[in-house]
Structure formats: C-alpha cells, structure tokens
Homo-oligomer: A and B are copies of this chain.
Amino acid sequence: MNIYDIASMAGVSIATVSRVLNGSEKVSEKTRARVMAVIEKEQYTPNLFARGLDQGTIHSVGIVVPDISDLYMSDCVSVLEKGLEKEGYSCILACSGYDQKSKVSSVQMLLDKMVDALILVGSTYAGKGGGPEETGYIRAAAGKIPVFIVNGIVDGPGIYCNICNDRQAVYEAASFLISHGRRNILFLTNSRSYSALQKLQGYKEGLIRHGIPVSEERILFPGDRIHAVRDYLLNTPLPAFDAVICAEDFLAVGAVKYAHARGIRIPEDLEIIGYNNSSLAISCEPELTSINSRVENLCTNTVDFLVRRLETDEPIPQAADFSGILTFRQTTLP
C-alpha cells in the first residue's frame, strides 16, 4: 500500500495525497475529506524511508550510555525518552560500555544510522584526563550533527553540555560534616571520569577550606560492587575515620555494611553520604543521606537544548549547570 494506491482509490494524483498527508493548505475541503477517508480506511502510513530519503531525516536521535542497567543512567534515559518522544523524535539506544574502542564504535554506528543528534549520558564520555585525542571522536561527530552531553564536559563547536555541579555539591557535603565536628573524612570513588574528579576536587576543597589537611590515604577506590566495597574496608589497613563521602550510592551502601560488620554506630560514630539519591539510598538501613544530582532537570534541559538547536535559529548555551541537593536521611546527624 503506497501513495499511488491511495491516489487512485481516491481518484486524485499522488501530489494531492501528499498534500493532505502533510497538512498543506492548498487542498479543497472536499478532496481532503475524500482522501482522508481512503487513508483511514486503508490505515495507510507513508513509508518512512522514502520520506527520509527525500528529507534527509526521520527525526531520530541517538542516545549513548555506557550501561543502561545502571540506576543513574536508566533514570536519565527515562526522562530523555519521554521528552524526545513528546517532541516527535524517536530514540535509538546504544550501550557502549566503558572502553574507548566501543564508545567510538557506538558513536560511529549511530552516525551511520543518520540520527539528527547524539546524546551522550555520563561523564565517562568526557574522558579520563587522557588528553584531547581521547574525546576526538566526539568532536568529529559534532562536526556532522549536534552532540549533547548529560553530566560531562567536552568542549568544541556543536557540543552542548548539561552538568550537575558535583564539585560544589561534595564541597557542601564535606562542609556539612565538618560543621559538626567530623575531621577524618574518607572519600570513596570508583572512577577517574570528569564527574568523579570533580567530586574529589570538592572533597579536597571542603577539607582545605576548613583547615583540614588532605591525606591521599583517605582517598580510596574500594571496588565496583557493594560487597567488594565492604570487604575492602574491612580488610585494608586504614587511618581512623569518622565520616565517609561517596561518589556513588553503592559505595555508601558498602560503607554501611562495613559499619554493621564492625559494630560501628551510624550516624553517631560514623556519618555516611552517598551520591545520586537512588533507590539504593532508601533500601539501605539506616537510609542514606545522599546527594540528588538533578537527573530530571539535567535531562529535561538537554531535550530543550536539542529541540531548540534542531528546530530554531536561537543560539543555545554551550553548557548549563545545576547544583546538587543534599538529601538528608539517617546516615548523618541532623
């Protein structure tokens, strides 16, 4: 069933059918009705590829995430997809993993799919300080279509970033802990991504600002899973500590389990702050104080940027940032 069939059934030319399909004004009410009747009756939908061939787009955007089963990223994708669908774009999802090669090939794959824009979710796409060649593939992609990064920064023409000010958020978390007397604060992280480094920076600045020396032995990479984190803390010789700030909620859950194993009281003897305010934070016992990284805002704004970039001539900012919000629960003192 194609436009020719509809045309002949309605006794008009394909041009007319095309016009009613695209809502052109220049069709008499009478013929429009007749054509519409046939279209509905036949449940006709125009062939997307033919249309795409002509117009160079089928209104799709590529979303790249390292791991969609990650709580943070699936939250992002959820918001992005809803927003984009509302704006008439479909989402092609690619899970790239964390290694450079597969990130590059995921982006290339999406480019070949002729998407109108690319959204990269997560600061892993901002590189790990490996120099500009690490993000070269992103700049190259941005030369062809606009690229939007959620929670990561890469600069270059055609690249637009929305980030949570992780440094500031962790700085405030550290200040909060210090304000009620904690001085031996551990920092747990699991990555050297842009975002992770910003958090670390916030931690360091928080200490320094309050006259506490930063000691490298309090900055830890305890592993990638809850139990690994717990065991690391149990088995590694560590300086004394009375608080922990974590770059991810699962790290904080690991710290909580460590405390349980050792019989340490939370929050009296040990305060713990997580990051992302995910469902882990409320599953945990006691429930985690955690930093809300504003996924909803970040992603909504990303969609907004994207639509404006693609459909208008307004210039849009290269970057926008949102501040994180400390959400208090039971692993910190009031």
Are B93 and A91 in contact, CB atoms less than 8 angstroms apart? yes
Contact B226 A60 (CB under 8 A): no
Interface size on A, residues (CB 8 A): 47
Q: Select from chain B the residue with minimum beta-carbon distance to A279.
A: B280
Interface digits, A247-270 against B, CB 8 Å rule (1 contact, 0 not)? Answer: 000100100110010000000000
Segment of A12-20, A66-74, A169-177 in the binding face: A66-74
Copies per assembly: 2
Contact B226–A250 (Cβ < 8 Å): no
Say yes or no for A53: interface residue by CB 8 A criterion: yes
A50 on interface, CB distance cutoff 8 Å = yes
Q: Which residues on B sit within 8 Å (CB–CB) of A253?
A: 282-283
Interface segment, one of A75-83, A178-186, A206-214, A216-224: A75-83
10 contacts between A and B (CB under 8 A): A48-B52, A52-B52, A68-B68, A68-B77, A77-B93, A85-B94, A92-B92, A227-B282, A279-B280, A280-B280
| Known interface pairs A71-B71, A71-B279; 18 further A-B residue pairs with C-beta atoms within 8 A, sorted by A's residue number | A47-B114, A48-B52, A48-B113, A49-B56, A68-B81, A69-B71, A69-B74, A71-B74, A74-B74, A85-B94, A92-B92, A92-B93, A93-B93, A250-B279, A253-B282, A256-B285, A257-B285, A260-B285
Residues of chain A whose beta carbon lies under 8 Å from any beta carbon of chain B: 45, 47-50, 52-53, 56, 58, 60, 63, 67-71, 74-75, 77-78, 81-82, 85, 90-95, 109, 111-114, 226-227, 250, 253, 256-257, 260, 279-280, 282-285
